[in-house]
Amino acid sequence: MNMELVWIILGMALATGIPRFLPVALLSRLEFPEVVKEWLSNVPPAVLAALVAVSVLAPQGIVEITLANRYIWVFVPTLAVAVYSKSPFYTLVAGIALMALLNNLFM
C-alpha cells in the first residue's frame, strides 16, 4: 500500500469523523431548554417523512403523481397498516408484500 493511499484514507476518516465527534463533544455538556428539546424531537420524523415523500412521489427524480406510479399504490395501504397497527414489523411486512405482489402481477 503506497503512502498516498494511506493519506487519502486518513483524510477521509477525519472528514467523516470530525462532523460526528465535534457536536457530541461540544454540546454534550450543555442542558437545552425544554422548548429546544421539544423542537429537536420533531427532527427525526420530519427527515423520515421527507425521505419517504421523495421516494414515493419522485421515484425517478421527477415528481410523478399519476396512477402509473406504483409506489403510491403501495404507500397508501402500507400507511393504513402503519396507522392501524402502530407496528414497524407489520408495516414493513405489508409494504414489502404489496410491492412484491405489485411487481409480480404488473411487471
Q: Where are the domains of the chain?
A: 1-30, 31-105
For residues 95 and 107, give the distance between their C-alpha atoms in angstroms, rounded to a whole number.
17
**Looking at residue 77, what is its pLDDT?**
95
**Looking at residue 90, what is its pLDDT?**
97
The DSSP 8-state label assigned to residue 67 in this structure reads T
Q: Each residue of 29-79: pLDDT tens digit?
A: 888 899 999 999 999 999 999 999 999 999 888 898 988 889 999 999 999
Prediction pTM value: 0.65
Local confidence band at 18 (pLDDT 50, 70, 90 cut-offs):
very high
Q: What per-residue string of b and e applies to 25-51 under the rule 16 or more CB within 10 Å gives b?
A: eeeeeeeeeeeeeeeeeeeeeeeeeee
Predicted confidence (pLDDT) at residue 81 exceeds the cutoff of 90: yes
